[in-house]
Copies of this chain bind each other. A is one copy, B any other.
Amino acid sequence: MAREGILIVVSGFSGAGKGTIMKELTGRYEQYALSVSATTRTARPGEEEGKDYFFKSQEEFEQMISNGALIEYACYVGNYYGTPRAYVEEMLLQGKDVVLEIEIQGARKIREQFPEAVLLFVTTKDAQVLKERLMKRGTESREVIEQRLLRAVQESEGIEEYDYLVVNDELDACVEQIHSIIEGEHRRIRYNMKLVSKVREELRSFAKGE
């Protein structure tokens, strides 16, 4: 019997390596499907339609909102970002574990609609590593980096609402830790009631001497 898919929300500090972790996780294990967001921001060089984002006009995006075609959406720096509902629901039906990389506001909306979703927060072992990674990108001024660090502080305010904290110290270990958490979630009683009922019925008939 095919098992039920689990919806997984991954949030984390800028610079904690969410993107790399998710590429690695979905590359290693076929059970995962990575949700692709819709956005109204313009594509950056190298970004592919349907792979990095679904690029939409403001009108198209607002049409999706009013059609209920997005599970969650938010506005950052004047652009919309949202999660198309159809892909997520289709993949869950197929038994895939669907991974969403979104922030706290989105995570809250997911939890409202999918109470059994698993919310993961990715951090580094200290803030020094985050600072260094942001500085290494090299393109940002000191002010921008300080803004990002301040935003990271704000991001961290919602951590208590998440289920699990994953420390990205060593990429490979971190990916395996996430996979192991999800495999554990699949062992939850609610996903295994078919097996429970089957064994229960068999026991009943044996006990009757059948």
A→B interface (CB under 8 Å) = 13, 121, 123-128, 130-131, 142, 146, 149-150, 152-153, 156, 159-160, 162-167, 177, 180-181, 183-185, 187-189, 192-193, 195-196, 198-200, 202-204, 206-207, 209
User: Chain A: interface secondary structure?
Assistant: helix
In the complex, what's the smallest C-beta–C-beta distance from A107 to chain B, in angstroms?
12
Q: Which residues of B contact A162 (CB under 8 A)?
A: 189
Copies of the protein in its oligomer: 2
Say yes or no: B165 contacts A192, CB within 8 Å.
yes
Contact B164 A199 (CB under 8 A): no
Given contacts A159-B196, A166-B187, whether A206 and B121 have CB atoms under 8 Å apart is no
CA distance A58 to B187 in the complex (A): 40
Chain B residue nearest to A124 (CB atoms) is: B199
A142 to B200, CA, bound (A): 19
B156-A199 in contact (CB<8A): yes
CA distance A160 to B180 in the complex (A): 23
